[in-house]
Amino acid sequence: MSFAPLINALAIPDEALVDQRVPKKLLLEQGAPTAADKRQIQDGIEEMTWVAALKPINIGVPAFQDDVREYLEIAILTVDLRSTAKPPRLIELIHRAIPYPLVLVTKHRDAVNLSLAHKRWSLGEAGRVVIEDLRQVPLNLDTPSAEEASFLASLAVSRLPARDLFALYDGLLERLAALEAARITGAFVPPDSADRASALRDGLDTYARLQRDLAVLRTQAKKEKQLNRRVELNLEIKRLEAKLTETEKAL
């Protein structure tokens, strides 16, 4: 599976293209707080490419700065992971190591994953940035679903919010959340306001939590031998199922 369909969907201006390999040394120095993390980077990454840098000078979108964060550019990276890699931790480490807001596309075996995370200044260490709300979705780029096709069609840089680089990056996050919701509801509908975007992300987090809680309760109910306790568990399952349906309708 190739990165090309997703990179092409972004329609990156030629002036913003970089196309350079990124050495592992950068991650080892910046994004590996423990010896285990260093081993994951060294053993798990096959190749990392800096595809593009979206800057005011090459896309005509102003930089953003306030007391919380500074967005001078948006980096777009692709990473080939080895089959033995552990993607969740590596994806987090890469986001932590790159100081700019990052559009990260990873490939592990035959699976492609897109991840995004806002960044802000660290409260405890001057000059350092920390990630907020890392969100990621797997993508089938060879034969995209209708929802994935709509998502890809919405990604062109020229179609994203252009007030500043924070708004542009937030627009990408909104589309990512809309795809997550579309896989539940069947309809890809990017949020049309900041309030709707916030409600959508909160709803997705609630939906995921309810699914996890239901899985635990159903396992407990199957193993429970006491009738009274099983009845209690089944009542709680029905309550959470109703809450899950309610949450789905709100997405």
Which tens digit of pLDDT belongs to each residue from 19-30? 999 888 877 777
CB-based burial label for 116 (10 Å; 0-12, 13-18, 19+): buried
Give the single-character DSSP code of 186: S
Residue 103: strand pairing partners:
76
Label the pairing between strands 129-139 and 64-65.
Answer: unpaired
Label the pairing between strands 111-121 and 129-139.
Answer: antiparallel
> What dihedral angle (degrees, nearest 10) is formed by the CA atoms of 73, 88, 43, 34?
80
In angstroms, the CA 95 to CA 90 distance is 9
> What dihedral angle (degrees, nearest 10) is formed by the CA atoms of 150, 153, 154, 155?
130
What is the pLDDT at residue 2?
Answer: 81
Q: Name which of 17-31, 165-179, 234-248 the model is least confident about.
A: 17-31
pLDDT in tens, 54-100: 999 999 999 999 999 999 999 999 999 999 888 988 999 899 888 89
CA atoms within 13 A on the CB side of 238: 5
Reply yes or no on whether the pLDDT at 242 is more than 90: yes
pLDDT in tens, 157-167: 999 999 999 99
Positive or negative, the CA dihedral 125, 129, 134, 138 is: negative
Question: Using 50, 70 and 90 to split pLDDT, how confident is the model at 40?
Answer: confident
Question: Using 50, 70 and 90 to split pLDDT, how confident is the model at 1?
Answer: low
Which residue type does 82 have? R
Q: 237-244, long-range: CB within 8 Å, 24+ apart, which pairs?
A: 240/210, 240/213, 240/214, 241/214, 243/210, 244/207, 244/210, 244/211, 244/214
What is the pLDDT at residue 130?
Answer: 87
Residue closest to 104 by CA, chosen among 112, 25, 204, 60: 112
In the chain, the N- to C-terminal Cα span, in Å, equals 30
From the CB of residue 249, how many other CB atoms can be counted at a distance below 10 Å? 9
- 72 backbone dihedrals φ, ψ, rounded to 5°: -95, -25
Q: In percent, how much of the chain has pLDDT > 90?
A: 69
CB-based burial label for 167 (10 Å; 0-12, 13-18, 19+): middle
